[in-house]
């Protein structure tokens, strides 16, 4: 059962418990017994619903990705100014970080699951490509010069702020400021500074 569109209420509760535990304590460190216990359901139900721990891990990452994209879309849509919309993912990250302080779930998952054949790799790669592409589209829509280059820079800033988050260095505000200034600069002159040569 690689994917499942409609999940039973018990399946949803198990997935919710898995999301919390996997993110907070790490995927390998959390056993299926613990997930069953935290969800109030039985291990048998877990296996009836998800088939294996690997499939549950995939469902965890897929669901988290869905929630994150939904938040970013909402934040972008709430911007009436197309220039402000370019850095809307940074605003979404600020809100997201209030309840998620253990860094990026996908980077963390890749750290624990080095096998490139594991579905987690595709999910993680897809998410970052999606964000890169979103930055590019938003930059182009705002009339930024060289949207591809700008998008790469914004992605690096975004991931850098996210990666340093567990270290409590409070890098997000400065990253956001720099991101906004890069967008402004790409509107003022014919391209972001430092691109020539």
Partner DNA sequence: CGCAAAGTACACTGATCTGTGAACCACCCA
Partner DNA sequence: TGGGTGGTTCACAGATCAGTGTACTTTGCG
User: Where do contacts with its own copies occur on this chain (CB under 8 A)?
Assistant: 24-26, 28-29, 102-104, 107-114, 124-125, 128-129, 132, 149, 152-153, 155-164, 166-169, 171, 174-175, 177-178, 180-182, 184-185, 192-195
Stretch that binds DNA, among 2-10, 98-106, 161-169, 177-185 (CB under 7 A): 2-10
Q: Smallest distance, Å, CB 60 to DNA?
A: 13
CB atoms within 10 A of CB 22: 23
Cβ(120)–Cβ(113) below 8 Å: yes
Stretch that binds DNA, among 9-17, 69-77, 140-148, 153-161 (CB under 7 A): 9-17
Cβ(138)–Cβ(76) below 8 Å: yes
Phi, psi of 83, deg, nearest 5: -70, -45
Alpha-carbon distance of 25 to 173, in angstroms, equals 27
Of 41 and 138, nearer to its own copies (C-beta) is 138
Which of the choices DNA, its own copies, none does residue 128 contact, using the CB cut-off of 5 to 8 A by kind? its own copies
Which residues inside 42-101 make contact with DNA, applying CB under 7 A?
A: 42-45, 47-49, 51-54
Cβ(140)–Cβ(147) below 8 Å: yes
Cβ(140)–Cβ(133) below 8 Å: no
Chain residues binding DNA by CB under 7 A are: 8-11, 30-34, 40-45, 47-49, 51-54
């Amino acid at each position: 059962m690689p994917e499942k569109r409609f999940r039973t209420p018990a399946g949803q509760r198990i997935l919710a418990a898995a999301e919390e535990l996997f993110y907070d304590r790490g995927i390998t460190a959390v056993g299926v017994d613990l997930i069953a216990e935290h969800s109030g359901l039985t291990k048998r139900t877990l296996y009836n619903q998800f088939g294996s721990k690997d499939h549950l891990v995939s469902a965890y990452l897929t669901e988290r990705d869905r929630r994150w994209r939904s938040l970013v879309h909402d934040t972008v849509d709430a911007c009436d100014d197309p220039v402000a919309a370019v850095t809307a993912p940074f605003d979404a990250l600020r809100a997201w970080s209030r309840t998620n302080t253990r860094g990026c779930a996908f980077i963390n998952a890749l750290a624990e699951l080095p096998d490139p054949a594991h579905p987690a790799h595709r999910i993680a790669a897809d998410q970052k490509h999606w964000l890169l592409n979103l930055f590019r589209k938003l930059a182009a829509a705002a009339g930024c010069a060289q949207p591809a280059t700008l998008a790469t820079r914004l992605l690096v800033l975004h991931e850098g702020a996210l990666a340093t988050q567990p270290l409590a260095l409070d890098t997000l505000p400065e990253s956001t400021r720099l991101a906004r200034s890069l967008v402004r600069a790409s509107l003022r002159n014919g391209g972001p500074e430092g691109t020539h040569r």
